[in-house]
């Protein structure tokens, strides 16, 4: 936990805001490219064309590729130009010299163009990290209640937690209320290899005085 700000609104509640973070190592990247094919206008064998495309993509990067529906456009030569988008999640080690590798596996009438890379973590890994942060904040809040109880003559218990509050400048916020940032300044933390994102979650916590037993 970090950046704790404590405010006592009245004698019955303690309110504070806290920020938790987790460094998540990047193990893969999302590769996207455009596939262009030139086919006869009379060619209706979509399955054969898709098979050729998948074979070429697998030579480019041997992973499972997802394809969009082909877009066929008339070409002045009497052929049709077929365009579709392809994307796949590939191991980090495959992220090198993509433009040249795409050129090498391309052939006349069938080519890969505009390969690009998205370094962001998969949504499932971000969601798992956010859940870990929530649990950590919850455990910390329960410990805070215990420590405040020991330091005063009031028995404190957890009243409320709101996750994903506030704003952090220069951080990208996702749908779960967490912030993602490229890990550059480690602030003394050990750097996960080979690269990582830092996931941050801000929460507002309310502790309340436990009811006095009669």
DSSP per residue, 22-76: EEEE--EEEEEEEEEEEEETT---HHHHHHHHHHHHHHHS-S--EEPPPEEEE-T
b/e code 135-150 from CB counts within 10 Å (16+ = b): ebbeebbeebbeebbe
Segment 140-159 shows an average pLDDT of: 93
Nearest Cα to Cα of residue 193 among 59, 96, 93, 97: 93
* Domain locations in the chain as residue ranges: 2-26+122-209, 30-117
b/e code 59-77 from CB counts within 10 Å (16+ = b): ebbeeebeeeebebeeeee
Residue 172's pLDDT is what? 55
Give me the sign of the Cα torsion angle 73, 77, 78, 82: negative
- Measure the CA–CA gap between 189 and 125, rounded to whole angstroms: 20
- Measure the CA–CA gap between 81 and 65, rounded to whole angstroms: 21
Q: Identify any residues that bridge with 182 across adjacent strands, giving them in sequence order.
A: 197
Q: Helix and strand tally (H, E) in the chain? A: 3, 11
Each as own residue / partner, the long-range contacts of residues 167-172 (CB below 8 Å, 24 or more positions apart, any chain) are 168/19, 168/200, 168/202, 171/200
The percentage of residues in the chain with a pLDDT greater than 70, rounded to a whole number, is: 80
- Measure the CA–CA gap between 43 and 41, rounded to whole angstroms: 6
- Measure the CA–CA gap between 48 and 58, rounded to whole angstroms: 15
The per-residue pLDDT of the chain, averaged, comes to 85
Q: What does residue 55 show for φ and ψ, rounded to 5 degrees? A: -65, -45
pLDDT band at residue 195, thresholds of 50, 70 and 90? confident
- Per residue in 74-89, pLDDT (tens digit) is 877 778 999 999 999 9
CATH code for the part of the protein at 30-117? 3.30.70
- Measure the CA–CA gap between 176 and 178, rounded to whole angstroms: 6
pLDDT at 137 > cutoff 90: yes
Residue 192's pLDDT is what? 47
User: The whole model's pTM is what?
Assistant: 0.72
């Amino acid at each position: 936990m970090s950046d704790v700000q404590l405010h006592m609104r009245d004698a019955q509640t303690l309110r504070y805001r806290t920020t938790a973070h987790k460094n998540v190592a990047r193990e893969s990247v999302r590769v996207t490219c455009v596939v262009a094919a030139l086919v006869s206008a009379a060619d209706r064998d979509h399955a054969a064309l898709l098979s050729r495309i998948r074979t070429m993509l697998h030579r480019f990067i041997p992973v499972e590729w997802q394809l969009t529906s082909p877009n066929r456009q008339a070409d002045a030569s009497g052929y049709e130009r077929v365009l579709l988008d392809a994307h796949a999640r590939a191991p980090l080690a495959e992220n090198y010299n993509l433009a040249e590798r795409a050129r090498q596996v391309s052939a006349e009438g069938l080519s890969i163009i505009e390969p690009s890379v998205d370094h962001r973590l998969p949504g499932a890994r971000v969601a798992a990290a956010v859940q870990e942060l929530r649990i950590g904040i919850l455990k910390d809040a329960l410990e805070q209640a215990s420590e405040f109880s020991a330091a005063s003559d009031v028995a404190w218990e957890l009243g409320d937690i709101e996750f994903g509050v506030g704003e952090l400048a220069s951080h990208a916020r996702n749908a779960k209320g967490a912030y993602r940032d490229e890990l550059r300044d480690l602030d003394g933390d050990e750097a996960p290899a080979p690269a990582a994102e830092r996931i941050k979650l801000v929460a507002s916590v309310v502790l309340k005085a436990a009811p006095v037993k009669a």
